[in-house]
Structure 1
Amino acid sequence: MESSLALHPPLTPAEAEGPKTYVLDTNVLLHDPTAISAFNEHQVVIPMTVLEELDHIKDRRDKTVSREARIAIQLIDKIVDVATPQAIQQGVAVPGSTLQGPLGTLAIYPDQLITDDSAVPYLDGTPDQANDNRIINVAIKLQAEHPERFVCLVTKDINMRIKAKGSGLLHVEDYRRDRVLDDIDLLTKGYEHIPGDFWAGVDEVDTVREDDRTLHRLPRSALPAAYPNQFLFDDREFLAFVVRLDSEHVYLRCDSRDGLMNQRFWGLAPRNLDQAMAMRLLADDDVDMTVLTGPAGSGKTLLALAYGLQGILEEGRYSKLIVARSTPPIAEDIGFLPGTEEEKMAPWLAAFDDNLEILHGADESCAGSIAYVKERANIQFKSLNFMRGRSFNNAYIIIDEAQGLSQFQLKSVISRVGEGSKIVVLGNLAQIDNKYISPLTSGLTYLVEKSKHYEHAGVMHIGGILRSRLAAFAEEEL
């Protein structure tokens, strides 16, 4: 059985025999605290340095990483709890690492015992790089002691991977368990464009009446890649919405482009079809979570905010509007900013004030209108790091800049959503500022692909830069 990492270069016969050994860096366990069980029947080695780093991180003010560190420590403790010191160094079985066959093992390596050996090119203990070097040295030591085995360092630190390879380590990889795509261009967009005439390619269709709506029922073979809440349109007048699917059929609700383009949220009209489809998802009572992706300036934040104001102040659907985002580098900075939580969050949430100005820029007193709306709509600015452990009922929640979050972090936030609430997740995969996350491993990518088959979630990629022609040039050319 192969590990759940991405494929590495072709193995030699010696490498292919028996379990492989994976040395984990600290950032892997912070990215996914359950990573220990992700390597199937193979051996996972955790250097003592990694445990020391987790110990320091678990007490940080930054609740984002300290929580993950504690979960990883608790999982390790659960596995090695009753094992002897000798067994821990040799490897303890990891429950649940495989569904059948031999279990994987977890070993703790006392890297403080590694000493300089002229036969093995260890990295030195330079203070600035001491921990990284000690972790790399563990993999180099295991490779030297077991040349017949496949020994691999797994880290999300790009520079550490380069250093390890340059030091003679044959196998170094990124952690890829959370990858749901091989190419970011394959990311679900929330719609499908059918060239030509859609109906020309459909051989079988009938009409059913449900409540007050008429649906077209097509065989699954006509739309094999369809998923709930997806839009379909062709080069002519056809535009439809996938209401639901069963084992044999796809149910479509036909719509009109004019109907979509005539929508209004808090006085805001769509400027292209992508925005119009996003607005329809936001207003759908049956969609509890909407994920909007797209480049800067495409209108994601403005649309989400406009519907939130309308849903609270005009329709009375929700009692408050919660705007939240991660605040790197939050580990120390936010605690030392003056004021309340909302005031501390202000530097990171200025974009919402900008969008409120757009919505009320034509008012006689723009500042007065914004202050009035903030109070009436009960707009609350939150840091994601303070949302865990809470439950939000009857709330409209916007998660901004979600591209820099891991899947574990997003799951922790979404699981806080209570009854009568709607959550909107926004992100631009071209603007990731987390050094350990790429577009393929972003929690936003994971969320899009995992939620597209859920009947109460909607996904929409909004293309086109509507901010200005200069913004469009910067996004596309710079």
Structure 2
Amino acid sequence: MNKDDRKLFVLDTNVLLHEPLAIYSFKEHDVIIPMTVLEELDQIKDRKRDVSRDARVAIRALEDILGGEITPEEIVEGVNLPRREDHSDASGRLSIFPDHQLDFTNGSLPDINNDNRIINTALHLQKKHAPRTLVLVTKDINMRLKAKGAGILMVEDYRRDQLIDDVRFLTKGFHQFEGNFWDYTDKVSTESYGRHTVHKVPLTAFGDEPFYCNQYMLDDKSNFCGRIVEKTETELKFLDLGKDRLMHLEAWGIKPKNIYQGMAMQALMDPDIDLVILTGPAGCGKTLLAMAAALELVVERGLYDKVIVTRNTPEIAESIGFLPGTEEEKMTPWLGAITDTLEVLHKNDVNPAGSMNYIMEKANIQFKSINFMRGRSIQNSVVILDECQNLTASQLKTMITRMGEGTKLICSGNLAQIDTNYLTAVTSGLTYIVERFKDFDGSANIYLNGVVRSRLAEFAEENL
């Protein structure tokens, strides 16, 4: 490829924090890291926050390429990216631009902060390397607007881990047929395995509709409900569940209030499903179902040894040391949803407070910070990872790879309540794992359609 045909990508700091190895994601094109970005990474790497690890990984990746016998002149000019098995298409060059040597007093934007300095650097490089195309890549929405207004022709979000363009297209974990399911096909073969009935139907009966393993199927005219256990090129094999049976499931005294909760409870109570992903609006029952199922599986059925509850707590690493008590007690302010759920599960007991304390000891419920989960191997446990919508794909990967033998992971989140600056519904790690795991036979995903918390919560979800 001609040099003028290769693009120049200038990366903002938040791109490297979002994905530390982002420098390998631009194929044959060249990547430029302004010196200001290195300074920001240096300031972040020693913070007591989860993001500091990503900063250190990014710095080490740059050191692996630019360290050793590379001269300062070569670093500025650009060094060929080394070949990596997981990024075999990366063949461009990487360089560090010494923007601290430039005089930005007459720049397009006042030199008052790092964002403006990076934008001015991109403007300088756009002019210097014309007619080559220069692209500023940042996760910061406001910075993208400022850069456009300042005169940068190409400004983009970093979306390498974005698997869908619109969250409305995110798989919900079930497919609802119009009418009666059995009207779609008359070619059915049935097998019985103890209490379970499995049907096989030809795939051609449903046109081009995509189906996935452990996807639920239901219709709107009959009692039909099934879960796909196997899909081949010619047929679907699904477990016959039935809506009535799902609605009569029970875990720790909790019964489903709608069919979506019924499907979720069936997946939660199945020990053969290692990962259950629950999505849906506030008040749909995600946390309540997860905790009820966890207590049932640990205390009543004895299938697991303990319950570990964790969630994303961005500010916890800096403030946790100032709180009194053990790690579990320090985590209490961030896990109010879990303790609220335990109160609901035991509100009718003679002594609710005593019941909660007894169950927390009996089920060995542990509250853990996500910041301290790295390096662990969790065995024979039910792990509830709450508020997943605020995690990146790499953070969720780190958590999922902690799960050892005999462990069930329950991930839940609401994509309408993302609190972090650099994530949207389509770039959230929760969206990422829903799409990545939809073909995995050890996982199930259910969108809990409908608010059951209260009529006030339901009205607010629909009208606000």
TM-score tier (shorter): over 0.9
- Name the amino acid aligned to 1:407: A
In 1, Cα distance between equivalents of 2:419 and 2:396: 16
**d(CA) in 2 for partners of 1:248 and 1:182?**
29
- 1:446 pairs, out of 417, 427, 432, with 432
1:218 equivalent to 2:201? Answer yes
TM-score by length of 2: 0.95
Q: Quote the offset at 1:133 in angstroms.
A: 1.4
Instruction: Say whether residues 1:87 and 2:70 are aligned partners.
Output: no
Measured on the aligned residues, the alpha-carbon RMSD in Å equals 1.9
- Of 108-117 and 265-274, the range deviating more from structure 2: 108-117
Tell me how far apart the structure 2 counterparts of residues 321 and 100 of structure 1 sit (CA, whole Å): 41
Return the match for 1:227 from 212, 229, 239.
Answer: 212
Q: State the partner residue of 1:41.
A: 28
Matched, 1:180 2:163: yes
Match of 1:59 among 46, 52, 62: 46
Q: Which runs of 5+ in 2 are unaligned?
A: none
2:99 to 92, 103, 111: 111
> Matched residues in 2 for 1:286 and 1:36: separation?
39
Cα distance between partner residues in 1 of 2:53 and 2:425: 24
1:102 Cα deviation from its structure 2 partner: 7.7
Q: Partner of 2:17 in structure 1? A: 30
Corresponding residue number in structure 1 for 2:443: 457
* 1:153 correspondence with 2:136: yes
Distance 2:427 2:452 in 1: 28
Identity of matched residues, %: 51
* Residue in structure 2 matched with residue 317 of structure 1 by the alignment: 303
Q: Which residue of 1 aligns with 2:226?
A: 240
In the other structure, the counterpart of 1:5 is none
What is the rounded CA distance, in whole Å, between the counterparts of 1:204 and 1:75 in structure 2? 56
1:165 aligned counterpart, secondary structure: helix
Please list, as runs of the form range in 1=range in 2, the aligned pairs for 1:121-136 lying within 5 A after superposition. 121-126=107-112, 130-136=113-119
Q: Secondary structure at the match of 1:125?
A: coil
| Structure 1, 342-351 or 271-280: larger mean CA deviation | 342-351
Of the structure 1 ranges 382-391 and 327-336, higher mean CA displacement relative to structure 2 is found in: 327-336
Closer/same/farther in 2, CA of residues 255 and 66 from structure 1, 3 Å limit: same
CA deviation vs aligned residue, 1:99-140 (integer Å, no higher than 9, x gap): 77781111110110111475xx432221xxx21111111111
Asked whether the equivalents of residues 393 and 418 of structure 1 are also in contact (C-alpha less than 8 Å), the reply is: yes
1-structure distance, mates of 2:366, 2:356: 14
Aligned to 1:334: 320
Q: What runs of 5+ residues in structure 1 fail to find an aligned partner?
A: 2-13
Structure 2 residue identity aligned to 1:107: S
Number of residue-to-residue matches in the alignment? 459
Distance 2:441 2:285 in 1: 25
Output the amino acid matched with 2:152. L
> Which residue, 338, 354, 371 being the options, matches 1:385?
371
Q: Secondary structure at 1:349's aligned position in 2? A: helix
Aligned equivalents of 1:472, 1:213: Cα separation in 2: 36
Aligned residue in 2 for 1:144: 127
Q: Hey, what's the Cα distance between the residues in 2 that align with 1:212 and 1:363?
A: 34
- Equivalence for 2:341: 355
The amino acid across from 2:457 in the alignment is A
Determine which of 20, 23, 34 is the counterpart of 2:7. Answer: 20
CA change 1:117–1:361 in 2 (3 A) is closer
Amino acid in the other structure paired with 1:113: Q
* Other structure's SS at 2:179 match: coil
2:123 is paired with a residue whose SS is: helix
The Cα shift of 1:49 comes to 0.9
Whichever residue aligns with residue 233 of structure 1, its letter is: L
Q: Distance in 2 between matches of 1:183 and 1:336?
A: 41
Pair 1:209–1:17, CA change in 2 (3 A): farther
Deviates more, 1:157-166 or 1:239-248: 239-248
- SS state at 1:467 partner: coil
Instruction: Report the AA paired with residue 97 of structure 2.
Output: Y
Tell me the TM-score normalised to structure 1 length: 0.92
Are residues 33 and 113 of structure 1, via their aligned partners in 2, closer, same or farther at CA, if it must alter by over 3 Å? Answer: same
Contact 1:37–1:96 (8 Å) recurs in 2? no
